[in-house]
Structures are given as structure tokens and as C-alpha cells.
Structure 1
Amino acid sequence: MKIAQIAPLIESVPPRLYGGTERVVSWLTDQLVDMGHEVTLFASGDSLTKAELVPCVERALRLGGTHDDQVLSYLVMMDEVARRVDEFDVLHFHIDGFHFPLFRKHASRVFTTLHGRQDLPALRSFYRRFPEYPLISISDHQRLPVPDANFVATIHHGLPLDLHQPTLEPGGDYLAFLGRVSPEKGLDRAIEIATRVNMPLKIAAKVDAADERYFREVVQPMLDRPNVTFIGEIDERQKTHFLGDARALLFPVDWPEPFGLVLTEAMACGTPVLAFRCGSVPEIIRTGVNGVIVDSMDEAVAQLPRVLQLDRREVRHTFVRRFSAERMASQYLDLFRAATERPLVCKVQERPDDSLIAMARPAKTRMQALS
């Protein structure tokens, strides 16, 4: 098949340091090429890929530029995709709904994977305006706020099996936190958990401009604790050692997490996870197998010893079985092939039952507490 992958321009594909969506686009694109398909990647010029690269900006927009530069850059990218639209069997977008007004007559072969939260007020009416586009969720929980949207599949993210090697005997006696420093990611809760169980915590995370206040007022005063080490952003090679040598990953999220890529990255290293019951977490973590899900700080402290005793071989095996890049690409290909054989029918999704909502309920956010 001839497949176009249209990536965000904020980070390169793959990103040099932090960046979940661009990382997934990279793994999917390269896997599709390895499976024998002709893939074209529309992305920033500093991207590295096995596919044909169409550079739409010279370098990732995060490295410089203003908001106006970003809007204009995306418009230029949309124009380039539209110019070449007839070259492809399928177009696969990863940029929310930016492209919806431009590709309506091609909608049956235009797929959109939604990578972000869907509980923003305007999204329900937005998707109702463009019902012809088939949407792909990255977790079932992600769909809950927009049950009438035209979702045709949920496809969990997948990683290359050789990206991280499992560490069955971790070299460090520490807990790990990997991600963004933001209220919804719960770094302050991770520090508190590590302090209460008297274990070292190593933090590999970036601070976005939007989260500087939270970092300055909440997190920074906690970094003086003797058990806390703040490392900053790390690359893929460093990530393998950082996660692999950790006894467990702490994932105390406080928002409707759409997926949580770091969960699968930890599993790839054989590292079990202590996670809060928010968003997609119950779809990824199975208590007693690859981690433990908790509902409170007290439960997190009480359950951490159980997490540390989990079989790291089984954690890795769960990753191989459920979260490989090959599995992810195969599921996308099933959709793409169906679209080339017959147009996908718009379907109104049934509202998930109350038990699913209760199982994966998002915790009340603490972001307002900083206002």
C-alpha cells in the first residue's frame, strides 16, 4: 500500500528527547516500511525515518518560533499533502482535526488517530460537524467524553521489541518517574510516595513553559529532600538504563490519561508499575501481572511492596504479547485495507456502560488548586 503519515511539527520524528506522539509515529512508520509498504512521512526536516521524508519545516517547531509560525507551518504542510493526495491509498493524520475542512472528499481513506484528551467542551460539536472522518482512539477510555464521534477502532500504542532490553536484576535500588513535570502527571505525589516508603526517587522529566509555576511553587521545594534526584530530560538510550535499573515506575497521574506511553516503555524494560486509576491505566496495567493500580496515596504506600515483588520476566512477556510495534502496525493495516476495499460506514458509538466509567474514572484534577 501507499501510505501517507502526517505528523505533528512540534517535535522531530522521532523526538530527540521528550515527545510521545512523534515517537509513536516513528515506530509505526518504520514498521510499515519493514512490512513492505510505500510510506511517505510529512514531518519536520530534522526527522529520521525509513520512509520517504517530506520536510514541511526545516526543524522541529519546539526549537524556536512563535504561535503564528506554527499555524502557518501547518497550513503549508496541509497544502503539500493536498497537492500529493492522489499518490496515496490512505492518508493517516496525527494532528488532531486540523485537516478536517480540507480533505472531505477523500474522507473514506483519511484516518485520524487522536492522541490527546477528548474532554474539551468544543470537541463534541466539532466531531458532529465532520462525521465522515473515521477516527481511531488510543484507548477505550479516551472515547468517553465524545461517545457520538465516528470511532472505528481503538489501537493501543506499540514499541519495537528491540528498542529496550529487559533488566531482570535491576542495578539500582530506586523508584523512577519519567514524563512531564505537570500537575496532571502527579510528580508531587510521586515524591511523597517515595518519601513515605523511604526509597530514593529519580526523576527524568521536562518542564514546559506552561508548567513552570507548578514546578516552581510545588515541585522545586520538594527537590531538597535527600531521597530525590532530578535528572531532567533523557534520550532513548538513557531511558533503557533509567527504567531498567529502577525497582518500579511511579505513575500517579491525576487526569484522563489517553494512553500513557511510559507504562509500556517500563514494561519493555521488565520494570513493574505503580499507577493511579485514571484514564487508560486499567487497559494497560493488570494488577498482580505487570503492576498494581491504586486509588489513593495511602493505598499506593501500602501496595508498593507488592509491586516490587512482581516477576520482571512476566512484565516483559506482557509487553511482548500486547504492546509490540508489529501488533500496532498490523491493526492499522487491517483498517487501511478495509478502506481501500469499501468505504467505512459512519457509526454512532454506544455510550459505554457505567461500570467502564467507574473502572477508569479520571481523578479530580488539582490544577485549579494552583490558580
Structure 2
Amino acid sequence: MKIAQIAPLAERVPPKLYGGTERIVSYLTEELVRQGHDVTLFASGDSLTSAKLVSCSDVALRLHPSMKDPLPYQVVMLEEIRRRALDFDVLHFHIDFLHFPVIREFADRTVTTLHGRLDLPDLKPLYRMFSDIPLVSISNDQRLPMPAVDWAGTVYHGLQIDILPFTERPRGGYLAFLGRISPEKRPDIAIEIASRVGMPLKIAAKVDAADYVYWDSIIKPMVEMHANVEFVGEINEHQKASFLGNASALLFPIDWPEPFGLVMIEAMACGTPVLAFRRGSVREIIEDGISGIAVDSVAEAIENIDWLLRLDRRQVRAAFERSFTAERMARDYLAIYRRLPGVRLKAPRLRRPVKGTPELQVIA
């Protein structure tokens, strides 16, 4: 198939540091190429890919030295897509809803994966207006607040199977928190849990400008107050393997309807069990008692920490390999692409039957 993947421009594909959506776009793109498809990636010019790259900004916009308004770059990308739309069997968007008015004429050859939260009231009138656009959710829970729309399927994220190596015997002896410093991610609860169970906690996270007041007024003082807590800062992909692999467990004490939670499967890939609060997608990602434990409160987290640390890390890794690989993700998306009403793939070539065999044989 000739497939266009359209990524956000905020980060390169894959991102240098934080950037869950761009990371998933990278894993999906590379796996589709590996499986023999003709893939074109619309992304920032500093992206790294084995697909054909259409540069829509010189560098990722978060790192752009002179960028003050991201919208012009996004409009340029949409025009590039509109002009080239006939070149592709299917166009796969990962940029929320900005493209909806542009794709009306070929929407039946598109799919849009929604990577963010969908419970914000301002979104409902928009999705009602564009209820015919094929959408993909990244968990079933993510769909719950939405009006009636054209759901093409749910596809869980997946990682390249060897991107994060399995660590059977972690050396760190610490609990890990990885992601963003923000109120809904609840690093304050991670600090409380670690302190009450008497274990070191390492926090590897970025602080966005929008969350700096929260960091400066609440989390930074807590880090300074607790001797068992270390703030590592934002880490890259290479550092992540060691950080997660050597952790005894990952703490994921979210307080919002997390659409997926990529860090959970990253920890699982390393064999590291996850202690997560039962919000959003957690019940779909964690196999309770196998890859982690889902709880509803700090008290319940503390009660279950010993059980969590005794989970078999080989079974944690096995749970990742069963459900959250890039190969499985690509296979799920390909099935959705082929079901789109506007996708007209060439009929398979047929060859003459082998002597003595009456049926025609399909050449894959």
C-alpha cells in the first residue's frame, strides 16, 4: 500500500526527548516500511526515518530558534498533503483535528488517530460537525466522552520489540516516575508513596512552561524536603532503557482519564512492573497481578507494594510481547486501512493452477 503518515510538528519523529505521539508515529512508520509498504512521512525536517520524508518545517517546532507561531507551519503541511493526496491509497493523521476541513473530498481514504484526552467540553460540537471522519481511539476508555462519531477501531500503541531490552535483575533498588511534571500526572502522590514505603524514588520528567508554577510551588519543595527523592530531569531514549530497566517498579499515580499511558508499556518492555491508579486506560493496559497492580488510593498502593515487587519480571515482559509490539500495532492499522470505503487496492495477481490442482492460486 502507498501510505501517508502525518505527524505533529512540535517534535521530530522520533523525538529527541519527550514526545509520545511522535514516538508512536515513528514505530508505526518503520514497521510499515519493514513490512514492505510504500510509506511517506510528513513531519519536521530533522526527523529520522526509512520512509520518504516530506519536510514541513526545518526542525521540530519546540526547538525552532525563531518560531513564535506554529500555525503557519501547520498550514503549509496541510497544503502539501492536499496537493499530494491522490498519490496515496490511505492517509493517516496524528494531528488532532486541524485537517478536518481540508480532507472532506477524500475523507473516505483517511483515518485519524486521536492521541489526546477527549473529555473537554469544547470538543463535542467539533466532533459532531465532523462526525463522518474515520477515527481511531488508542483505548476504549478514551471514547467514553465522545458524541456519535465514525469509529474505525481501537488500536493500542506498540513498541519495536527490541527498543527497550528486558532486565531480569534490576540494579537500582528504586521506584521510578517517568513523564511530565503536571497536576494530572500526580508526581506528588508518587513522592508520598515512595516516602511511606521507605524506598528511593527517581523522577525523570520534563517541565513544560504551562506547568512551571506547579513545579516551582509544589513539586520542587517536595523533592527538596525528601532525601529519598531524586529529580533526574528529562531523559532521552537511550537513558530510558537503563532508567526503567533498573527500577524495581514504575509508579503511575494518574488523576485524569489517561488515553493510553505509553510509559506503562515502556516499563513492561523492560520487565518492570507498574503500580498504576485505576483511571482512564489503565485497566486495559495492565494485566492485574501479572504486569502490574491497579489501585484506587495511596493506602491501597502502600498495601500492595510488596506484592508488586514480587511479580515475575519475565511475565511482565511476556505481557508486553503479547499485546504491545509495533508489529501488532501495524497489523491492526493495516486491517483498518483496508476496510476504509475509499481504499481501492489492486486485485491480487493470479497464476495458472499447478498441474493437477484445479483452483487458481493467489500470489501474495
Asked if the contact 1:24–1:157 (Cα under 8 Å) also holds between the matched residues in 2, the reply is: yes
Structure 2 Cα separation of the partners of residues 195 and 318 of structure 1: 29
Q: Which residue of 1 aligns with 2:8?
A: 8
- The question of whether the paired residues in 2 share the 8 Å contact of 1:44 and 1:60 is answered with yes
Paired with 2:103 and 2:342, the residues of 1 have a C-alpha distance of 19
Counting only pairs closer than 5 Å after superposition, residues 59-208 of structure 1 correspond to structure 2 as 59-64=59-64, 69-208=69-208
Q: How many corresponding residue pairs? A: 343
Cα distance in 2 between the residues matched to 1:86 and 1:127: 25
Runs of 5+ in structure 1 lacking a partner?
344-371
Identity %: 60
Q: In the alignment, what sits opposite 1:350?
A: none
What stretches of structure 2 of length at least 5 have no aligned partner? 345-364
One-letter amino acid of the structure 1 residue matched with residue 110 of structure 2: V
* Amino acid paired to 1:141: D
Secondary structure at the aligned position of 2:160 is classed as coil
CA contact (8 A) 2:275 2:308 kept: yes
Aligned equivalent of 1:328: 329
Q: Which amino acid aligns with 2:127?
A: Y
1:234 counterpart SS class: coil
Report how far residue 149 of structure 1 moved: 1.9
Q: Tell me the residue number matched to 1:43.
A: 43
Quote the Cα distance in structure 1 between the aligned partners of 2:122 and 2:70. Answer: 21
Structure 1 residue 210, shift from structure 2 partner: 0.3
Measured after TM superposition, the shift of residue 67 of structure 1 is 7.8
Cα shift at 1:77: 0.3
Alignment of 1:288-327 (within 5 A): 288-327=289-328
CA distance in 1, matches of 2:158, 2:341: 24
Aligned equivalents of 2:38 and 2:68: distance in 1?
33
Compute the displacement of 1:64 (Å).
Answer: 3.3
Aligned partners of 2:103 and 2:275: how far apart in 1?
42
1:255 pairs with 2:256: yes
| TM-score, structure 1 as length reference | 0.91
Partner in structure 1 of residue 267 of structure 2? 266
Amino acid at match of 1:18: Y
1:124·1:149 contact (CA, 8 Å) conserved in 2? no
Using the TM superposition, name which of 95-104 and 123-132 deviates more: 123-132
Corresponding letter in the other structure for 2:296: D
CA contact (8 A) 1:179 1:206 kept: yes
1:175 partner amino acid = L
**TM norm structure 2:** 0.92
Counterpart contact for 1:104–1:132, Cα < 8 Å: no
- Name the SS for the 2:41 alignment partner: strand
- Of the structure 1 ranges 122-131 and 7-16, higher mean CA displacement relative to structure 2 is found in 122-131
Larger radius of gyration, structure 1 or 2?
Answer: 2
Conserved? CA contact 2:46–2:59, under 8 Å: yes
Q: Distance in 2 between matches of 1:269 and 1:291?
A: 13
SS at structure 2 position matched to 1:135: strand
Deviation of residue 65 (structure 1)?
A: 6.2
Matches of 1:67 and 1:125, distance apart in 2: 31
Residues 249 and 295 of structure 1, relative CA distance in 2, 3 Å threshold: same
Note the alpha carbon deviations across 1:227-268, whole angstroms, 9 max, x for none.
011110111111011000000000000111000000000000
Contact map agreement 2:89 2:343 (CA 8 A) in 1: no
1:20 maps to which residue?
A: 20
> Which residue of structure 1 aligns with residue 219 of structure 2?
219
In structure 1, the residue matched to 2:57 is 57
Matched, 1:31 2:37: no
1:176 and 1:74, CA in 2 relative to 1: closer, same or farther beyond 3 A? same
CA distance in 2, matches of 1:40, 1:187: 38
CA positional deviation for 1:147: 4.1
CA shift digits 1:91-114 (9 cap, x unpaired)? 000000100001101011111000
Question: Is contact 1:13–1:25 with CA below 8 Å preserved after alignment?
Answer: yes
RMSD: 1.3
